[in-house]
Structure 1
Amino acid sequence: PCRFLLPLRIAEQESKARIHLLEIIQTAKRLDRILVLPRAGKSRLGLCFRWSFEAYYDEDLLQTVLQQEGVRAVTQEAFKHWLDSSPSERLTRGQLVSLASKAKSDSTGTVIFGDDNGLTVSVDTKPIQTQDPRLPGCFRDRFGMLLSGDFIPLSIYPSLLLSKSLKRQAIGEEFVSIFGREDIRNASRSRVSPDDEPEVLMLDWDMRHPIYSQPFIGSITYSPLLEHLAGKVSSPSSPYLMIHWRMESVSPDVLPDCAHALVDTISDLLLTSELGEGVQKVWFAGDYPVPISNHLYPPSSDRAPITTTIQNKSGTFRDFGEKHREAVDILVDAFREGAELDRWSITDLAAELLRMENGEVLDVHPDFMTDSGALGILDKMIGMNAAIFVGGSKRCGRTR
């Protein structure tokens, strides 16, 4: 019979979620289940996002690696088609399994397994409903048929003692062994034999660190579409300097001083260093949500941006204000006529995408070009090809 591992939610934003997905791939292999690849959107991975997996990642290359490693995987679209075309007599039942780095405050489990040194397993006595907050919002309409009541949800998290060493201690093998334990199987079956297996394990992954002692042998690379766009936008034939400044969690009061220090650093690199030879353009990237053209040109200018829409590049950067604007103004002013960096132009992804849209037809859905995850990946890929890369210091920028 076909048995699947269906990720519902995967913790953290794209770059870290991608690492978590590699851990989920290892889990699917150890449990001998077919992995349902998550969807993508807003720099997240999970069940309900707008874009298919291949919008962010190279699915064909990943499938090749997975086949070599004996892991089977299907897209969510293929899995949904399989469900919808299943004969009525074929059972397809799901069991919700949550793996978290700590116990959730709303846990309702009353049957607890575990000790002080390992993982705790809470068998949830609250029946799962189609509009249950434990499930993503799109679940009822798309996958409600998986809820049979035969399998009781499991919530798995480290003991208090283990949680203190979770970053260093691998828990993957213990996690996988839970699914074969007789005591837990007895407690988590309703109306069915303890030997019965759910056809679909519905996984809520809320970890912050890898759970296996060895990483998965393969990697997940970005999609050919994004590779193509990054190459088109950055014009790699001419070298450029990339500034990557993440302002989130930095005290706003220090940002103007940081901007002055950044200008000094760029001046040293471009004016007094051989590194800057041939560089004509400076890219500005990071989590700052306002296009650089809003700072370069006044609203009355014919070069003013068509839109002043804020583009959120981070799902967690919310405390954005005047000090952030002031810091970027200081940076931009250094590139104005008569200023110390006026031999170079400063640009960003929003400006270059607008230039491309005006000059050629992009075969990309326009909404995809406003997706925070796609924009973040493009910034990252463009940064990897930069002749010079300047990141934020510990005092001035978020470094992790």
Structure 2
Amino acid sequence: MKKFLRKNRMFLSMCAIVFLLLCTVRTMYKFSIRDYHVKTNKVLGYSPLERAMQVANYLTNLEMQKLQKEQERIDFKYCGGPCRFINVLYIREQETRAQLHVRHLAFTSAKVNRTLVLPNVSGSHLGACKSHDFEYYYDMEWTRQNKEYFNSIRMKDFVAWIRERKEANVPVSDQVLSTFDLDTHVDPSAVTHCFSGLTKPKSTFNQILKWNITGQTCELSIQAREIAMVQFLKGPSLGNGMNANEDIEVLHMEIYKANQWSQMAQSDIPIPYHPAVIKLADTTAKSLGPFVAIHWRMEASKNTNNMLPCAQHLISLLKRKKKFNFFLLTDYPHMFTQEQQEAAMKGVSSTSELSQWLQSNSDSFLMTDFTREHHEAIHYLYQHDTFHVLETEMERGGTPPDHWQIMQIPDRLKLADVDRPRMIDSGWLGILDKLIAMRSVHFFAGQKGDVCGRSKSTFTAQIIDARTIMRKSRTNYFGPKNKTL
């Protein structure tokens, strides 16, 4: 051992020196850190409470970073990055006009860097809070064909995104935007909807764009209208290259009235209907044989005294088409007995009795709007010829008049994209009416000028445009020459 110590004396001395140096450095570092904290707190005046607040802020920042990462993860899952949507919350007008607004929003959404949420549908209306998904009425191929012009998301995926963000404690920011006719004189108001409680609204009050439907704004160029809508969606300028609505994740659109505004030619092409609807229309039209379609929307007649003369003129015109069957599209109720109608004509029906059958498929044509003249006109039609109308099997009631033929379709229809048959609603009936009329040999509509009812409508225009493309015969108009306004 002594021999070993003598041989390695130098090495052991060096090891002892290194050990002492390390101990010294460790002690100096320990006291310097303590001295630093003491001096720092003394110089900056930190109290124990302030130190606790510093720690709390640090933890809060960590939590915020965690929430931010969670938001980014969810957004990437649904959008591939930060999500910005236009959601069609409500459209006042019915299906034909409503889908026009959806088309224009779709082709405008890319101009404001947003994705269109495909609205739900039911009862001939479109909107986020309706009961059926978009493809219940329409063919999803439309979105795929226009992928280069706009992005879209199904409502169920949009709702899943909102709920997932809510559960992650990073609720979605949103804002309601509403369009009105200038004449309605509305002011911003608090708006609640089916997403209320799931989001964090920028304001519970809606932003408003007023369109002068019949005046100067209507006469503006389509370019000027598109600029106005894009600016409305972006919101007021903040003066730094940003606009007020750009950071809002969801813009909910309420459309009470609006002009056409998109310059894209594709926005004027109707959205194709679900293949099952088209197939049923083809089958039903074929079962009619050669037929004439008559569209009579009675609701907008300027004078109900015209009703019976309009019916008389229509019958006189149809006498020249005796080799055809007659298919009637009307907002007059389809299901009634002759006794019910004759009682209504005489004014002896109670409100309770009328409510059992006097219900139009048009939401704006109320039971109280029907007059004796409406009943007399329909009565005159089936007293002089046979008319076919469309209705579901579930609507069977009493026996209709002899020459008022109900064409019954199944009340449920199996769609290829669902597991169980779905109930056919009034929106389907309206679409079927329209598609069947497009396939008719001849087409009649009420005289221009709203003499017999509404003659100029998007519904009628869509039928006429489709028949033009299909090279069908021109449209015929019925109504008395000596009209009463």
TM-score (norm 1): 0.73
1:377 equivalent among 415, 431, 449: 431
Residue 156 of structure 1 corresponds to: 209
1:102 aligns with 2:182: yes
Q: Are 1:246 and 1:397, in contact at CA under 8 Å, matched by a contact in 2? A: yes
Larger-Rg structure = 2
Aligned to 1:72: 151
1:101·1:163 contact (CA, 8 Å) conserved in 2? no
Gaps of 5+ in 1: 109-125, 127-131, 271-275, 300-306, 336-344
2:135 and 2:274 in contact (8 A); partners too: yes
Structure 2 CA distance, aligned partners of 1:19 and 1:298? 36
Are 1:29 and 2:29 counterparts? no
Deviation of 1:149 (Å): 3.8
Is contact 1:312–1:372 with CA below 8 Å preserved after alignment?
no
What SS class does the counterpart of residue 380 from structure 1 fall into?
helix
Q: Residue 445 of structure 2: which of 375, 378, 391 is its match? A: 391
1:237 is displaced (CA, Å) by 7.2
Q: How does 1:23-172 map to 2 (within 5 A)?
A: 23-58=104-139, 60-69=140-149, 71-86=150-165, 88=168, 90-102=170-182, 105-108=185-188, 132=190, 134-136=191-193, 138-140=194-196, 144-149=197-202, 153-157=206-210, 164-170=216-222, 171-172=225-226
**Structure 2 counterpart of 1:2:** 83
1:183 to 203, 222, 238: 238
Cα distance in 2 for residues equivalent to 1:37 and 1:176: 19
Show the counterpart of 2:272: 221
Whether 1:253 aligns to 2:309 is: no
Are positions 1:12 and 2:93 aligned together?
yes
- Identify if the C-alpha distance between structure 1 residues 181 and 258 changes in structure 2 by more than 3 Å, giving closer, same or farther: closer
Pick aligned residue for 1:348 from 373, 382, 389: 389
Where does 1:233-272 land on structure 2 (aligned, <5 Å)? 233-236=284-287, 238-250=289-301, 251-270=303-322
Deviation, structure 1 residue 397: 2.9
Q: 1:309 aligns with which of 357, 363, 368?
A: 357
Question: Normalising to structure 2: TM-score of the pair?
Answer: 0.61
- Taking the aligned partners of 2:255 and 2:239, their CA distance within structure 1 comes to 19
Q: What secondary structure, in the 3-state scheme, does the structure 2 residue paired with 1:93 have? A: strand
Structure 2 contact 89–254 (Cα < 8 Å) conserved: yes
Tell me the number of residue pairs that the alignment of Structure 1 and Structure 2 aligns: 339
C-alpha distance in structure 2 between counterparts of 1:152 and 1:188, whole Å: 18
Tell me the equivalent position of 1:283.
Answer: 327
The answer to which structure, 1 or 2, has the higher relative contact order (CA under 8 A, 6+ apart) is: 1
Q: Which amino acid aligns with 1:229?
A: L
Deviations 1:307-357 (A, max 9, x none): 96345221112211321111111110113xxxxxxxxx4221027886776
Query: SS of 1:40's equivalent?
Result: strand
Counterpart secondary structure, 1:25: helix
CA distance in 1, matches of 2:213, 2:326: 49
Which of the residues 178, 191, 199 maps onto 2:249? Answer: 199
Letter in 2 for 1:67: K
RMSD: 3.6
1:68 is paired with a residue whose SS is coil
Deviation for aligned residue 1:66: 2.5
Classify 1:184/1:151 alpha carbon distance in 2 versus 1 (closer, same or farther; 3 Å).
farther
Amino acid of the structure 2 residue aligned with 1:209: N
Unaligned runs of 5+ in 2: 1-81, 343-354, 397-405, 457-485
Residue in structure 2 matched with residue 294 of structure 1 by the alignment: 337
Q: In 1, are the aligned partners of 2:392 and 2:408 still within 8 Å (CA)?
A: no
- TM-superposed CA distance for 1:208, in Å, is 3.0
- Deviations along 1:188-244, one digit per CA (max 9) or x if unpaired, are 96xxxx9x7011112222333112344435541112222122223333572112121
**1:273 — aligned with what?**
none
Higher helix share: 2
Distance 1:311 1:380, change over 3 A: farther
> SS of the residue aligned with 1:261?
helix
Q: 1:289 to 1:107 in 2, by over 3 A?
A: same
Letter of the aligned partner of 2:192 in structure 1? L
Q: Secondary structure at the match of 1:243?
A: strand
Conservation of the 8 A alpha-carbon contact between 2:285 and 2:440: no
Distance 1:288 1:238, change over 3 A: same
Contact 1:368 1:374 in 2 (8 A): no
Query: Identity of aligned pairs, percent?
Result: 26
Distance 1:184 1:229, change over 3 A: farther
Q: Using the TM superposition, give the Cα deviation of residue 398 of structure 1 relative to its aligned residue in structure 2, in angstroms.
A: 1.3
- 1:116 is aligned to none
Q: Name the aligned partner's letter for residue 45 of structure 1.
A: L
| Aligned residue number for residue 129 of structure 1 | none
Partner Cα separation in structure 1 for residue 214 and residue 412 of structure 2:
54
